Structure 1
Amino acid sequence: MTLTDIGAAQVMQAVEEFDRLGRRAFLERYGFGPSRTYRLVVDGRSYDSKAIVGAAHGHLPGQRPLKPSEFSGGLDHAVRLLTDLGFRVERSSAVEADAGADRLVERIAKLRVASTVGGPRLYQPITLLWAVGRALRGEPRMLSWGETATALRGLLGRHGLRGERPRPDYPVLALHRAGLWSLEGHTGEVPSAHGDAALHQWFSEQRPEGGLAAPVHALVAGSGQARVAVVGAIVERFFDGLDEVPLLEEVGLYEDSVADDPVHDGDAGPVDPVAAAAQYEKWCALVDRREARDGVRYRERTVRDPLRSGPARRAVLIRCGDRCENPECPGQPDDRTDRGLPLLEVDHVVELAAGGRDHPSQMVALCPNCHAVKTRGRSRDRLREILLEVALERHRRGPLPS
């Protein structure tokens, strides 16, 4: 087996197969996961570079497709082959951002926390969720110790469901040791999160300012995708058997906006096709994980679960390519929102209360006219049947170019 036997013709055969099957089915057929860093770009559309090379080998006379374990997708193998053949390969900035979120989720999974018979203590997760909520609202990263202590005492008192005392010094020091929290304006070494009177005295004397570490704050403030992943990881690890919703509501993380990126002038415009597929896969993975969890717990709340509905809505908006997904749409309005975004509404084809799924495979982006027809038009039953097929087919195919 040698990659150098593969030519441009075999690569294009694999690309055509990718287009015919759709990304998800193509990757499943050949056993590849999504590309983590590099994407092949052909005619403005992006493809998973390593999977394309593996499939292309199977188009050589008498050869079989290569398995992911048989070669590397990096610069010295798949990427070099494609660039030597004259193809364009790009590094995805969205994938790089995802890597930061993945690393943060890993750090949350490794946090050292005290345990009770019922499960892990909630000091650190309550503090993290409070800080993430502040980042979502664009509030300052650093706060005085007095403001921090007041806010956390109240939250720990109301939501410390495993016997947590209203002691904000414990979680702040533990998160500082874990590299997730900054403390500034103090002298000398920061103590460890052990003891009682000594900790209280240190904070009373030093009165440090504190908040999420700058890179962590920038990530959860600037990326809805990272924010949902982090909140989901905290909930899944620490709140098993508990009702986390009252806490999420109080800190402002139980709204669909938890998945939104911040609004900036000039944000509108087409999604980078190299990044769109990676973003769509990531949003769907978050939805799938939350759906698997809710299949056992809190089933009555699936009609309103922003940790699923927010990502699902974002995925559909990426997938639609700024166009109404009703194939019979007579023409969506040319006007746009104040951000310059198309006038589209994400809708569940089958209402959740009627047994529908809060998942991109059963959701569509509709212009206001088509949304009205689907909701209350005489032809709504026929249109819903069409839209169910469209949603599933679009989900399998992935994002359209804008």
Structure 2
Amino acid sequence: MTFDEVKPEHVLRALKEYDELGGDVFLAKYGFGRATDYLLVHDGRDYDSKAVLGAAQGHAVGRPATHDQFSGGRTGAAKVLEDLGFEVVRGSSRDVADVGPVEAQAAWAAAAREVLIDAARRYHSITTYRELADEVQSRSGVTTSQLMHHWIGDVLLQVARENAEKSEPALMALCVDARGRVGPGYAKAVEATTGAPPSEPDTHAAQERLRCHQFFGAPDLPSNGGRVAHTPQVARARDRVAKAAAPAMRPPQVCPRCHMAIPATGVCDQCG
């Protein structure tokens, strides 16, 4: 989403509204959570940067931007606000032990949804579990020293449940491991949200990725609707398996006299 119509005066109106309503009411009105990663600083006060930009869009065009239409990170709301001349600072991070596992998972799931929607809006784009884990901690401001595989699956399951509730394609399909494959949690999440596990998780994920690009409006999606594509690593592995399973092509027998191919009878038609 772009914010080409938003001017500094629209942001100032949003800030005034924030002050008049109070932070909690303002956030509830526009459907945003508390910003923990990037804060807008104005006249000595801190504001939730992403929510302010969403409201400013409403003042500019008559319809505010919702939380799932854009990201709040360094390349998202923070950059837009800085380009408009406002000061944006990095918020303080909190450890999962400080906020509790339930709040941490909720914050990570909200951030993961943002990251994956960003990927969905770029045709054939994917992210890795490691990249996602780092980005959700950065965006949410909630960090953990736990190994990624202990918690990222539960986060993606929350995202998958929200997708199912909203009749959306599975955003978790856009997240793969270093081999380009979906992890074991993918099939479990599909089963939990649809009632049946996929027979071929990587193929199922490839189909869901295309649906994500279509549903969330990737601007570079081809006019024909795009095509289902495995990750390059999975595609190469499937090609190797297919070649290994194909019967070996034997060179035809050739008559030593006329050098013509000998038929199945084993007798040259020319030389007898």
- Report the TM-score, using the length of structure 2 for normalisation: 0.36
- Report the TM-score, using the length of structure 1 for normalisation: 0.25
In terms of Rg, which structure is larger?
2
